[in-house]
């Protein structure tokens, strides 16, 4: 789920800085110093009022457009004010987004809360003392010495996290009992001795939260974290035994992700109430072990070497909650697969001063114009006429076997010239149904009770159907080249964050 090498996310998070530059606060030039807590709504300010440059941010936005950076949203907070906020078509405001492995940083917060409430004794407590007996099955030899801190710092000692693609996570998800499976992973090192990015560690932490508190990690988050911060729209699935997925899949709105960053920035304080212990925060963002040449790792927080003091929650595909305390900055990014460091220089340059800058109406207007452009749907165009083969292929189900991970069959219904519908039967027995705009615009649909998915397609001059399945809230963007044949179909599928490029042949169901 998470790459082994990463560049500093904060310096990249400026790509799409926002349109609040046109707010009334942009006109007075005085830097507000007493923002309200954003429990119900974020206070806003212009970049210049908070010492940031609209010109640099507009330059960053131009770069993102020119290079088709697959970013969905950017929220930048300085001095407690949202100064930059952007949404790239077809992603829209107030929509949840999968934060992927940034979920692990939320689990770290929850372990800190459970410790403060007396349910756990992290980080020193051993894992097995926090779990109920596993029906006499025990655990791998050596697992008795693993502490909660070892799990949080990715130093469990399990033979896990040392191979590309996280095969241990895939293997865990293929079993009926994820906790039991993980406890029986072979040990490769003494606990605390070696860093290995092992997502199953965090499912064990979620299990420890459940066993100690009597409620799921999701319920603890709702009561003790989300509710005090005013976070009301969230989704976090569980395994077959009701254990919340500690390694990923939490969905939050970008502005609510920023609330978590602000909580960390403010040493756990929220509206005069100490939500999270400052001691826990300090411990969490202290480098516990070098993760790679570019980053240290704390208790589920990354510390890039390039920017001293910066700490980040990081997820696959470009998800970020980045906190830079000495600049009083929180930046949130969501996306569908890109390298944030490619545009990092713009945000670094945009932080000009700790005091207000002179008003810059021209560049504020330029920035506002660019932000309108990136959020707007393209003009519709006349859909190309479908080739004769489309009539024969419409609604036909093509069996794919196991050639496409997670998918078993493929079908497209050609409803009319402007609309088609993609239907995929999934390996887990579910079905994905995505409307496709044929006029250059996405058609949107809601999944998982509020997450957003989009799709569009067009016929090429060669008679191939080009589909873009943009899962948006669920990160992945699939580009599918479809060649319909007499009784079969040939698919070439590209997806940058997990799949790579896959070629598959499908056979029409008899």
- Put the strands of the sheet holding 234-235 in their side by side order: 97-98, 251-252, 234-235
Mean pLDDT throughout 121-139? 85
Instruction: Note whether 102 and 320 are within 8 A (CB).
Output: yes
Record the tokens describing residue 349, joined without a space. 């340059």
For domain 389-508, give the fold: Lipocalin (2.40.128)
Task: Using the predicted structure, report yes or no on whether residue 288 has a pLDDT greater than 70.
Answer: yes
Give pTM, 2 decimals.
0.91
Condensed to tens digits (0 to 9), the pLDDT of residues 59-73 reads: 888 888 888 889 999
What sign has the CA pseudo-torsion 254, 260, 265, 271? positive
**Residue 2 pLDDT > 80:** no
How sure is the predictor about 510, in pLDDT bands with cuts at 50, 70 and 90?
Answer: low
List, as one string, the DSSP characters of 75-138: EEEETTEEEEEEE-TT--TT--EE-GGGHHHHHHHHHHHHHHTTS--TTTSBHHHHS---TT--
Q: What is the mean pLDDT of residues 456-471?
A: 94
Residue 31 has pLDDT above 90, yes or no: no
Give the CATH fold of the 102-229 domain: Beta-lactamase (3.40.710)
Confidence of residue 289 (pLDDT cuts 50, 70, 90): confident
CA 8/CA 371 separation, integer angstroms? 24
User: Which segments within 367-464 are labelled E, that is strand?
Assistant: 398-404, 407-416, 419-426, 431-437, 443-447, 451-459
Give the per-residue pLDDT at 349.
83
Concatenate the DSSP letters of all residues of 147-197 into one string. BHHHHHTT---BS-S-STT-HHHHHHHTSS-HHHHHHTSPB-S-TTS----
pLDDT of residue 5: 36
Q: What is the mean pLDDT of residues 257-278?
A: 97
Q: Where in the chain is the domain with CATH 3.40.710.10?
A: 102-229
The ranges of the chain annotated as CATH 2.40.128.20 are 389-508
Class in CATH terms, 10-95+253-375: alpha beta
pLDDT at 186 over 80: yes
CB 244 within 8 A of CB 273: no
The C-alpha atoms of residue 117 and residue 364 are separated, in whole angstroms, by 47
Tokens of 38: 């954003």
């Amino acid at each position: 789920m998470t790459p082994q090498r990463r560049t500093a996310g904060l310096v990249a998070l400026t790509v799409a800085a926002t349109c609040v530059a046109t707010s009334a606060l942009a006109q007075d030039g005085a830097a507000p110093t007493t923002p309200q807590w954003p429990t119900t709504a974020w206070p806003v300010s212009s970049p210049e009022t908070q010492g940031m440059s609209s010109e640099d941010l507009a330059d960053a936005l131009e770069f993102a457009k020119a290079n088709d950076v697959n970013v969905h949203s950017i929220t930048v907070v300085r001095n407690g004010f949202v100064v930059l906020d952007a949404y790239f078509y077809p992603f829209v405001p107030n929509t949840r987004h999968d934060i992927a492995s940034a979920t692990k940083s939320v689990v770290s917060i929850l372990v800190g809360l459970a410790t403060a409430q007396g349910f756990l004794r992290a980080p020193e407590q051993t894992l097995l003392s926090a779990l109920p007996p596993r029906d006499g099955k025990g655990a791998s030899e050596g697992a008795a010495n693993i502490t909660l801190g070892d799990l949080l710092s990715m130093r469990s000692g399990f033979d896990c996290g040392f191979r590309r693609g996280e095969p241990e996570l895939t293997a865990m998800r293929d079993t009926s009992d994820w906790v039991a499976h993980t406890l029986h992973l072979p040990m490769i090192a003494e606990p605390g001795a070696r860093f290995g990015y092992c997502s199953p560690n965090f499912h064990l932490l979620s299990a420890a939260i459940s066993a100690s508190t009597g409620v799921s990690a999701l319920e603890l988050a709702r009561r003790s974290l989300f509710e005090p911060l005013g976070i009301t729209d969230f989704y976090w699935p569980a395994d077959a035994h009701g254990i919340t997925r500690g390694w990923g899949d939490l969905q939050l709105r970008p502005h609510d992700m920023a609330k978590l960053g602000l909580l960390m920035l403010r040493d756990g304080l929220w509206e005069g109430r100490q939500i999270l212990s400052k001691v826990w925060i300090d411990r969490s963002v202290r480098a516990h072990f070098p993760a790679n040449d570019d980053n240290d790792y704390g208790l589920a927080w990354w510390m890039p070497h390039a920017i001293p003091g910066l700490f980040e929650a990081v997820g696959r595909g470009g998800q970020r909650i980045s906190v830079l305390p000495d600049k009083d900055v929180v930046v949130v990014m969501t996306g569908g697969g890109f390298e944030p460091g490619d545009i990092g220089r713009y945000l670094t340059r945009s932080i000009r001063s700790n005091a207000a800058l002179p008003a810059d109406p021209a560049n504020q207007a330029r920035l506002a114009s660019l932000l309108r452009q990136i959020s707007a749907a393209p003009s519709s165009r006349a859909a190309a006429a479908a080739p004769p083969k489309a009539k024969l292929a419409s609604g036909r189900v093509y069996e794919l076997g196991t050639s496409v991970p997670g998918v078993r069959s493929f079908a497209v219904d050609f409803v009319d010239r402007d609309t088609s519908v993609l239907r995929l039967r999934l390996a887990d027995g579910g079905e994905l149904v995505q409307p496709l705009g044929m006029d250059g615009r996405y058609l949107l649909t809601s999944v998982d009770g509020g997450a957003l998915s989009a799709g569009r397609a067009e016929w090429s001059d060669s008679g191939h159907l080009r589909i873009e399945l943009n899962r948006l809230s669920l990160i992945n963007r699939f580009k599918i080249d479809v060649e319909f044949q007499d009784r079969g179909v040939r698919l070439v599928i590209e997806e940058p964050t997990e799949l790579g490029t896959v070629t598959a042949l499908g056979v029409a169901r008899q």
